[in-house]
Structure 1
Amino acid sequence: MSNPIAAGRRLAQRAIAWQAVATVLVALAFLAKGLPSTLAALVGGGVVTLAAWLSALVALGGGVSPAGVAFARLLMGMALKWLLVLVAIVIALALFRLPGIPLMAGVIAATLALVLANSIRR
């Protein structure tokens, strides 16, 4: 018997693990530029990873429901994810004055890791 909710949770966990690994690799690459750049890459990728986890909780947290409700949860999770990422980027750049290129490199690496994790079949 197929359980699409459990399969969705497994896919989300795998994608989040890939995002965490990609974030650490980018942060290690920016270690040569100094601690602020490393921290910025960790913050950029880390916030995308955390937001993806929260998005999965919202999208997959309600169990089996009608299509309209499931779609609304999916949209709410995605909106929450990108709102959180946007707010974190603004705070990291404006308030903490972290370098922008490593921050965005972390965001891009974590986002691409999500795409890669979801496109590779097991």
Structure 2
Amino acid sequence: MHDPIAAGRRSALRAAAVQVAVALLVALAFLMQGPRQALAAGIGGGALALGNALAAGVSLGGIVPARVAFARLLLGALLKWVVAIGMFAIALGAWRLPPLPMVAGLAAGLLAYLLALNLRLHPSKRTQT
């Protein structure tokens, strides 16, 4: 039996994993400038990956009425940005990390997430090997 909600949850979590990998690559690229810059880039991408994973868990919780599904979608989006902005605030305020690498990590992670969700191969389009 095909469960589109479970497939959507798996797809979103797979995209968040791609986002973590890209955040690590950006952090490695910023390592040439120093460990604080690398940490900032990793936090920027990682915060959004954590937010997206939480949003997928909240939003794609099962078959529910339309109002509940819409409320979950809004709650998931709100949770994602609260986590991301909260991590940014902690990293900028308490740890005094540089903002530009954090924004670069966030932007790279966001692009990776969107590409991973939209450029995946559908089962009917995969080639047989």
Q: Shorter chain as normaliser: what TM range? A: over 0.9
In the alignment, the residues of structure 1 paired with residue 107 and residue 39 of structure 2 have an alpha-carbon distance, to the nearest angstrom, of 15
What's the % identity of the aligned pairs? 51
C-alpha distance in 2 between matches for 1:71 and 1:113: 25
Corresponding letter in the other structure for 2:2: S
Q: Deviations over 1:21-71 (max 9, x none)?
A: 11011001101000000110111111111111111111112x111111111
| Runs ≥4 residues deviating over 2 A | none
Give the CA deviation at 1:121: 3.1
SS at match of 1:33: coil
Q: With structure 2 as the length reference, what TM-score do the two structures score? A: 0.89
Q: CA RMSD in A?
A: 1.0
Partner of residue 76, structure 2: 77
Q: Tell me which amino acid in the other structure corresponds to 1:101.
A: L
Q: What is the deviation of 1:88?
A: 1.2
The unaligned stretches of length 5 or more in structure 2 are: 122-129
Aligned length: 121
Q: What are the equivalent positions in structure 2 for 1:29-108 lying under 5 Å apart?
A: 29-61=29-61, 63-108=62-107
- Find the residue that maps to 1:32 and give its secondary structure: coil
Structure 1 unmatched ranges of 5 or more: none
The higher radius of gyration belongs to 2
